[in-house]
Structure 1
Amino acid sequence: MISAPQLVMAGPHDPRLHFARHHLGPITIQPSPDMPPHLLLLTDASDTRYLVKQHRDPGRFEREARAYTTWTTYLGDRAPQLIASDPPTLSLLLTELPGRNAALLPSGSIAERQAHHAAGATLRQIHQIPTVAPGTTIAAYLGQRLSLWADRARSANLITSCQRNEMEARATALADTTMDAAICHLDYQPRNWLLADYGTVRIVDFEHMRPDARLRDLARLAHRHWAAAPDLRAVFLDGYGHPLTALDDQLIQQFAAIEALTALVQGRQRDDAQLTSHGRLLLTQLH
């Protein structure tokens, strides 16, 4: 098992720089005050831009490294290219993708609609990546995940015992639900979309990527973004090229339980009042 390294600010003895120089030669750290400390923006001798992304969790490092070596090659220039990985520092050396972060686009703007349409097209590419995972296995797994999140939420006194029992009943029903499997991004929302100048959306942050229920990638959008802006749903699905059926909508609503509990638990862990409030609202709507 890889142990988590200590995250340090970039300096002459930062092991991430030694890792990057080993693969790129001479490098220059670029000023990036808006970036979190786990990301380093670098250029090589030819001024090509790269990112070093350092994980704190070994499991996420291993999952994202696997995603880059197994699935993102199907996306071409819509995903970063993995140059190298460094298990001792849990770091990935990636090509840097240009583009505007879709989460920062003005609400209601043409650019926001363009990003949702293009993100739909990119998600279709992701869901067309070959997978051998059967939907029955995915359904059983998601039932287990719902039970796990319910246990975590109850242990943190975020839900009542009665709610915990209701979630267990939902988990049992979910495990018996028919669903399509696909390779999924599993954090598919505007903060991970980069809108290129020519209208394509590129995708970053593949640390959750794995075979899962195809509609899970749409569920997060439905519950976090489309409720307040339903017109974006229509734009996204037009780009996705796959209209939702009534059964699809029912399954997306079933996933609301996982979304609610995840938001509650992670909101508490991160001291994120907005995420916690989102979880509370979804939990209320479930009843």
Structure 2
Amino acid sequence: MVVLTSIPMARPRMSIPGSVLDWASYVIGPITLVRDTSWDRESSKVWELTCPDSTRYFLKISPSKALYARETHAYRFAVPSLGPDRAPRLQAADPDQLALLLTAAPGQPVAAGLTMRDLLKVHRQVGWLLRVLHDAPHASSSASWDSRAEVRARTESVGKHVAAAGDLLTRTEEETVLRLARNLPHLEACPAAFIHGDAQERNVLWDGRSDCAALLDFERARPALAVDDFVHLAVGPWQQQPWLRRVFFTGYGRELTEPERQVLPMLAAADAVSGLAWGTRAGDNEVVHRARVTLKLLCKGAAL
């Protein structure tokens, strides 16, 4: 095993545990540069590794066993359906250290700023990629989906999230969430799918040379409802630029079903209340801000 004792850190912030770095170097060989690319929260642990030939990899330590299991399953059984360069590939995984070693997909983060022409291409391709993922043949079976159990679980979850948020919610926000919760029975009629679980622009790369988008971060991928993957986009970029929504569903190959239209605001509300409580506890200002923006939209009756 190669033991590295002196690797320059491009932006020192969080060191890779020595045993994990040893494992990575054993798999891919010598590493000449390590760059911390984690999100600005304690649970995020991701580093870019560069080899002597300039080949790049990403090393990730999952926050929990459950998320590690979800992500490795997605990379093994669903991500290959997306095709070459449409997502990172799993190079190796270590369950004892919850570590994943991933190839680097081509492109730059969409958040870096794109022309409207390219942004339209991104959303159309993200729609297509999510449809392929949702239909991934070896990832999950819709036959095992218990729609009634899901309605019960989500109904209980909304109540728990509202209670956990407590005084963080205004009276109007709480009343709005509870009113929208009446649409939960429509979940039974929504199509099941193998979802990405965190579909938003920050988890998309755009390669302008090949005009190709790629998806990142599959730790929340799981069997659920297809509409779950539309929540963050519906309360985010589609609010300011509704034409992005249109091209997305052109790429996806269909519009929302009527039951999906009914439950989308409720799913957005549940996500916002959960994010508000969790983000406040964790000190994640980005999550709290997104939750506040979503609740404001829902209280105003914004169309999703």
**TM class by smaller structure:** 0.7 to 0.9
1:82 is aligned to 2:90: yes
- Which residue is 2:290 aligned to? 275
Q: Which runs of 5+ in 1 are unaligned?
A: 1-7
Deviation of the 1:159 alpha carbon: 4.1
Name the stretch that deviates more: 147-156 or 118-127. 147-156
Deviation of the 1:17 alpha carbon: 1.2
Change (3 A) 1:60 1:245: closer
> What letter is aligned with 1:202?
A
The separation in 1 between residues aligned to 2:69 and 2:182, in whole angstroms, is: 28
> Residues 118-151 of structure 1, C-alpha deviation per residue, up to 9 Å, x if partnerless?
1112112112212322486145325413422431
Query: Are the aligned partners of 1:64 and 1:208 in contact in 2 as well (CA < 8 Å)?
Result: yes
Match of 1:174 among 177, 185, 188: 185
> What letter is aligned with 2:150?
Y
The separation in 1 between residues aligned to 2:164 and 2:126, in whole angstroms, is: 37
Q: Secondary structure at the match of 1:177?
A: helix
1:10 is aligned to 2:15: yes
- Which residue is 1:253 aligned to? 265
Give % identity.
29
Change (3 A) 1:69 1:164: farther
Name the stretch that deviates more: 93-102 or 108-117. 108-117
Count residues in correspondence. Answer: 277
1:263 is aligned to 2:267: no
Match of 1:101 among 109, 132, 138: 109
- Which residue is 2:203 aligned to? 192
The separation in 1 between residues aligned to 2:195 and 2:56, in whole angstroms, is: 27
The separation in 2 between residues aligned to 1:183 and 1:260, in whole angstroms, is: 22
Change (3 A) 1:268 1:27: same
- Which residue is 2:299 aligned to? 284
The separation in 1 between residues aligned to 2:103 and 2:210, in whole angstroms, is: 19
> What letter is aligned with 1:123?
L
- Which residue is 2:247 aligned to? 235
The separation in 1 between residues aligned to 2:176 and 2:205, in whole angstroms, is: 41
> Residues 83-110 of structure 1, C-alpha deviation per residue, up to 9 Å, x if partnerless?
111223221001011212112224x622
Q: Which runs of 5+ in 2 are unaligned?
A: 1-12
Query: Are the aligned partners of 1:142 and 1:174 in contact in 2 as well (CA < 8 Å)?
Result: yes
Change (3 A) 1:166 1:98: closer
Query: Are the aligned partners of 1:135 and 1:181 in contact in 2 as well (CA < 8 Å)?
Result: no
Change (3 A) 1:138 1:76: farther
The separation in 1 between residues aligned to 2:159 and 2:301, in whole angstroms, is: 14
- Which residue is 1:117 aligned to? 124
Deviation of the 1:62 alpha carbon: 1.9
- Which residue is 1:5 aligned to? none
Name the stretch that deviates more: 42-51 or 74-83. 42-51
Deviation of the 1:247 alpha carbon: 4.1
> Residues 51-87 of structure 1, C-alpha deviation per residue, up to 9 Å, x if partnerless?
1011232221221112112221212321211111122
1:137 is aligned to 2:146: yes
Q: CA RMSD in A?
A: 3.0
Q: Secondary structure at the match of 2:220?
A: coil
Match of 1:25 among 25, 29, 32: 29
1:209 is aligned to 2:218: no
1:147 is aligned to 2:159: no
